[in-house]
Amino acid sequence: MHDLKPMTPLGQHEPVIETHGPVTLTEVTDTALASVAARLGREADTAAILASVLGSETPAPARHGGKTLTAFWMGPDQWMVEAPLETHEDLAAQLAATSEGAMSVTEQTDAWCRFDLSGERLADVFERLCSANTRAFTGGEAVRTAIEHLGCFLLCRTPAHISVLGPRSAANSLHHALLTAMRSAH
């Protein structure tokens, strides 16, 4: 039996946590991801299936939400589903089993890295990084934008807690950009 140790996107054995001024950056590795895309003509079916998975309405454009599981809007008739990794390591397979041929499901867990920024005046940090209007965030927004030339999602859980999802292969570049902006802003 192999004794394999999982590595985080930053290449460590434990998630990185760093605080600068009022802002704390936390590497988040306990979330499973799978994307869902409606097949042509099955848009309504997909929204209904996803709503039953989430236990709430399917998120509207540029929004995230959900009760049992959460999801965010990625594009027209496309969503990313988030779930606790411990209970949903096979999230894509679980969703595919409910798909009834209406939607395409893609495993995404290891495609992304996630950094959560929490604290006061987060908009001061994000206005240095991207063109998303983070100052207007009130909670529930899910915006795709470019940070450090990388396509990233910003998920506003609350105005004092924003998740950044970026490509895992560029985790160190994204981490560097976030830290640089935190030091610049505060």
- Residues at the contact surface with another protein, assessed by CB under 8 A: 40, 61-62, 73-76, 131, 144-146, 151
Q: Least distance to another protein from the beta carbon of 35, Å?
A: 12
* The pair of three-digit structure tokens given for residue 154, joined into one six-digit string: 């910003």
Q: Which is nearer to another protein, 4 or 40 (CB)?
A: 40
Q: Least distance to another protein from the beta carbon of 61, Å?
A: 4
Residue 57 is classified by DSSP as P
Burial annotation 70-107 (CB, 10 A radius, 16+ → b, else e):
bbbbbeebebbbbbeeeebeebbebbbeebeebbebeb
Q: Least distance to another protein from the beta carbon of 72, Å?
A: 11
Q: Which is nearer to another protein, 27 or 141 (CB)?
A: 141
Residues 58 and 76: their CA atoms lie apart, in Å, by 12
Q: Which is nearer to another protein, 49 or 74 (CB)?
A: 74
